[in-house]
Each structure stands twice: as structure tokens, then as C-alpha cells.
Amino acid sequence: LQQPCFGTCRSVKEFEKFNRIGEGTYGIVYRARDTRSDEIVALKKVRMDKEKDGIPISSLREITLLLRLRHVNIVELKEVVVGSQLESLFLVMSYCEQDLASLLENMQTPFSEAQVKCIVLQLLRGLEYLHHNFMLHRDLKVSNLLMTDKGCVKIADFGLARVYGIPVQPMTPRVVTLWYRAPELLLGTKTQTTALDMWAVGCIVAELLAHKPLLPGGSEIQQVDLIVQLLGTPNDNIWPGFSRLPLVGQYSLRKQPYNNLKNKFTWLSEAGHRLLNLLFMYNPQRRATAKDCLDSSYFKEKPLPCEPELMPTFPHHRNKRAAPRVESRPKRSKV
């Protein structure tokens, strides 16, 4: 595998590092200034902890994917730069002032429904582009959604992303942060499709609406139980092939005949409930696609999505401290 810079990489010494702004799947992210252009960028140091043979395959995969992607709602990889003697590698990304996890922590009042719709529409557009290009993100969560000070949402952290083909190839099931992990992954499926990203979208939509994580499980067993409590007990009628999933026998599922989404979001419109229910379909083949969601009447009814420029921003809070990891966030109460 060739290195992505093809011998023309600049040195990281041409960048002035300011402060650490977060940590992705494969490296620490810094806010920095390109001394050549004076532009503020995000500088992502690629982890090389245990690598004796150069760049880890996971990092090469992310670099290769990102260099191919160009969409307003996906973070842009500008170039790759190197440290001294090529033992360290840095990705130069477009800088976004905040991530949604930090925003949710710092906001005094929750996002309005119009603002939630604005965020979700942008997420769906970016995801539709990804899926159209046969890519699964596989680690969607609020801390991997960045926002510029003009309200533009960008999908970030492609460390677990994969290209998928037809027929779909088996992949490792241990992907996606636990709270956003689809039931088919928890039950051991080897076949991964765009549906697992869409489950994560459902979790993100619900989290933005409720201002707290929807399914904050502490273990895989608890995660499955929280899903069953919310959506009812799955069976082969609603999810063909359910009983044949590899890990079904490891769980003693509670008998829960009801879907409780309406009780969680009593104020949500019929169209809103329809959208959530389509995103939380147990059967991955029936789960809504990004295109399905973009066509949802939920985004065409009042309150209409606000314009990105009207999104609330906190342009400076990310300059002061590292963005929190979603897994360690305390549970937020609705304000």
C-alpha cells in the first residue's frame, strides 16, 4: 500500500499547534494554524503505538476513504503531513468550531425542534452521499458530528468506515459505540449494511429531541434489554431470521409486547413518530434509508427546519478544552 502523500508531504513543523480538541477512533485531534496559508485547521495525529511496519491499515483506510469524499456535510481531508523521519503522521482536516456532544453539554436550553430538524437533515444528506458511494460509517454518534460557526453539520471520524459491495461481505460485529449499536450487531450478525448507520441516526435524532441519550446501556446485555424495553420483544414474524442470529441464545429477552416510543416522545407529531419507528425497525431490510428519511413529511411540517445560519453556536468553548468522549458523558436531564 502506498503512502497517501506520494513523497510530497509537508512537515508538521509548518503547523502551529494550539490545543487538543478531541480524540477520534485512531488519534488525538488538535486545533492548529497552517503557517503557510494562515488557515485554522484540525490536525489529527494518527496513532502509531504498536506499529513497526509504518502506517496502520486502519489509518490508511480512513485516509483513502476521506481523500475520495467531497460533500458539504462530510469533514474534508485537506492533506497528509508527516512528523520527523516519517514515524508520525498527521491528517489536516477542515476545522469545525464544535462537536454536537460538547454543544449538548454546554447549552443552557435544548435544541428547538426546528434546530433538530436542521441538524438531522444535514446528517442525512451526508449519509446519503456516503451510502451512495458504498461506504458505511459504522461509528455514528453525536461526538462524531461537527458543526461550523455557520451551522453546517459535518460527519467526522472515519476510523471504522468500510466500503461495502454486493454481495455484502462479512465484517466484524464489534463496531459502533454501544449506545448507538443496532440490534443485529448486538446479536452477532456478520452481515453489515447501511441499516446499522440508520439505527444510529435514530438514536441521534432521539437524543437531540430529548436532550439525553436514548439507550445509555452499560453493557451489551443491558443495551439489548433497553432496546427491548423501548420497542418490544423481537420475533421471527417482524424480523425474519431473528432466532437464527448467532448470539440470540446468549440473551434471556424479557417479554415485552409493546412499543413505548410514543410514551417517550408524547409531544412528537405523527410524522415524527413514523420517522423514528422506521429508523428503529428491528428488521434491517425494512429500516428506513437516508433517502427515505429525507423524503419524510416530518421535515415538511411545522416547525420547519431552521436555516443553518440560525443554529446556536459557542465558537470559543472548543478552543479551551478537549471535547468530551460520548461514552464518558453523564446522563443529561431535560432542561
Closest CA to 325 of 143, 158, 145: 143
Task: Tally Cβ neighbours within 10 Å of residue 108.
Answer: 6
Q: Would you call the peptide bond into 303 cis, given omega within 30 degrees of 0 as the criterion?
A: yes
State the sign of the Cα–Cα–Cα–Cα dihedral 295, 298, 303, 305: negative
User: Treating both helix axes as pointing N-terminal to C-terminal, what angle do 270-279 and 195-210 enclose, rounded to 10 degrees?
Assistant: 140
Cα(271)–Cα(300) distance, rounded to whole angstroms?
Answer: 10
Closest CA to 139 of 82, 196, 222, 210: 196
Cα(310)–Cα(62) distance, rounded to whole angstroms?
Answer: 32
Per-state percent for the chain, helix, strand, coil, to nearest 5: 35, 15, 45
Binding-site positions: 44
Looking at residue 177, the DSSP 8-state letter turns out to be -
Q: Would you call the peptide bond into 167 cis, given omega within 30 degrees of 0 as the criterion?
A: yes
Binding-site positions for ATP: 44
99 is catalytic: no
Catalytic residue among 34, 49, 53, 139: 139
Q: Which residues are catalytic?
A: 139
